[in-house]
Amino acid sequence: MIKDVSVKLLTVHNDERGRLMEILRNDDEIFTKFGQVYMTTNYQGVIKAWHCHKMQIDYVSCVKGMIKLVLFDKRENSPTNGEINEYFIGDSSNRLIVIPPGVYHGWKNIKNEESIVISVINNLYNRDNPDEMRLPYNTKEIPYNWDIEYK
């Protein structure tokens, strides 16, 4: 696993009214501080990649559908520099993935429906000077192929 990445198993409580899932609490060991929460949707087959932050920590959870979340450690001084981690999260795998600064990440919707991703970030997004570095999903700088692998 890439250094400083954390995975929290999420518990879903179901009853006749629906379901409730706690994603992140300020008393969780993995919590640092609150910046903002945002929601993004992803249409079938869409890839949203790659981006990275210098200071921001991302807490990512898929609350509808399924995504393949991929991380790439590009931090020069990291013992896991060059490593790739894949996580399949969503309806059948309730997880919160904590992504540290310096780790590129992106995801692909892998179900035949729109997916919904909730992200909590530890710093407020600065529209005038965003803490964000982007690369295209098919960059040669990250050795990853988004195609389905048949094994």
Delineate the domains of the chain, giving CATH numbers in brackets: 6-134 (2.60.120.10)
- The pTM for the full model equals 0.93
φ and ψ at 43, to 5 degrees? -75, 165
* 98 pLDDT more than 80: yes
Residue 151's pLDDT band (cuts 50, 70, 90): low
| Per-residue pLDDT at 149 | 72
